[in-house]
């Protein structure tokens, strides 16, 4: 297990290496492998970039987020202006079905509602909004329409994991309950964690994924 002091130094180095993050704006606290990020970031996109940078470092057991977005003077936008920008951005994204997602704004915080056919469309809508000037946070409440599910959902997920890892990740259990898929077990890294999660969400007919995977220290 990596000592806390070494883990903190590695995370700070990763933040400094990432050009999307102003490292001096981010505080890093480590306690037995649990990492807490603090500070005020200049955009929501930078806040996410800092979180992802921390998760890229081996030895991170869990991540607590105590950062917030504080827009620089002159970059504030009214909710009315931002709502119009969000609507236009969603309309121009070919991965987002037209007229299916409704944005609501309050203090720069965007809440997305509606229903789409696939999880990638839900994620595409959020990705479209996160880089807009003035966004301070996003709540993604977009749902996925239940599709006709094949009887071998579990096999499809296992096949996807084999394609990704040349053999499925170790100690992964996959349970299917109607349109809900439950993942249990251990993975070796956050990259593997995300790959398993994405494989589950890419399965036709799955509208809910319960992710109980743990990342090994």
Q: Where are the domains of the chain?
A: 4-69, 79-144, 153-215
Which are the contacts of 88, defined by CB distance < 8 A and separation ≥ 6? Answer: none
Band (pLDDT 50/70/90 cuts) for residue 170 is low
CATH class of 153-215: alpha beta
DSSP β-ladder status, 109-116 and 101-106:
antiparallel
Q: What is the DSSP letter of 24?
A: G
| Three-class SS of 106-146 | ECCEEEEEEEECCHHHHHHHHHHHHCCCCCCEEEECCEECC
Contact status, residue 126 vs residue 112, Cβ threshold 8 Å: yes
> For 4-69, CATH number?
3.30.1340.30
4-69 against 79-144: fold identical: yes
Cα separation, 79 vs 109, in Å, equals: 9
**Chain centroid to CA 146:** 22
Average pLDDT of the chain?
A: 88
* Cβ proximity of 110 and 138 under 8 Å: yes
Q: What pTM did the predictor assign?
A: 0.64
Looking at 3.40.50.620, 3.30.1340.30, 3.30.230.10, 3.90.1150.10, the CATH number of the domain 79-144 comes to 3.30.1340.30
pLDDT of 40 higher than 60: yes
Q: State how far the alpha carbon of 69 is from the alpha carbons of 26, 33, 39, 84, 167, in Å.
A: 11, 25, 9, 21, 41
- The answer for residues whose C-beta is within 8 angstroms of residue 139's C-beta and 6 or more apart is 109, 110, 111, 112
Which pLDDT value is given to residue 124? Answer: 95
Model confidence at 150: pLDDT above 60: no
158-163: average pLDDT: 78
Question: pLDDT confidence of 201, banded at 50, 70, 90?
Answer: confident
Report the SS3 class of residue 37.
strand
């Amino acid at each position: 297990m990596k000592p806390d002091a070494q883990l903190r130094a590695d995370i700070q180095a990763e933040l400094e290496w990432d050009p999307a993050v102003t490292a001096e704006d981010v505080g890093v606290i480590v306690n037995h492998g649990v990492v807490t990020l603090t500070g005020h970031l200049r955009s929501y996109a930078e806040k996410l970039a800092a979180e992802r940078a921390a998760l890229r470092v081996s030895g991170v057991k869990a991540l607590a987020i105590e950062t917030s977005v504080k827009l620089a003077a002159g970059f504030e936008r009214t909710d009315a202006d931002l709502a119009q920008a969000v609507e236009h951005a969603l309309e121009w994204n070919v991965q987002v079905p037209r007229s299916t997602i409704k944005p609501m704004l309050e203090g720069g915080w965007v809440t997305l509602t509606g229903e789409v056919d696939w999880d990638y469309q839900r994620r595409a809508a959020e990705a479209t909004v996160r880089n807009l000037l003035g966004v301070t946070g996003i709540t993604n409440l977009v749902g996925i329409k239940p599709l006709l599910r094949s009887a071998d959902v579990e096999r499809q997920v296992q096949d996807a994991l084999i394609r990704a890892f040349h053999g499925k990740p170790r100690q992964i259990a996959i349970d299917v309950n109607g349109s809900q898929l439950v993942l249990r077990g251990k993975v070796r890294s956050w990259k593997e964690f995300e790959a398993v999660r994405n494989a589950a969400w890419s399965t036709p007919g799955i509208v809910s994924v319960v992710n109980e995977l743990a990342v090994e220290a």
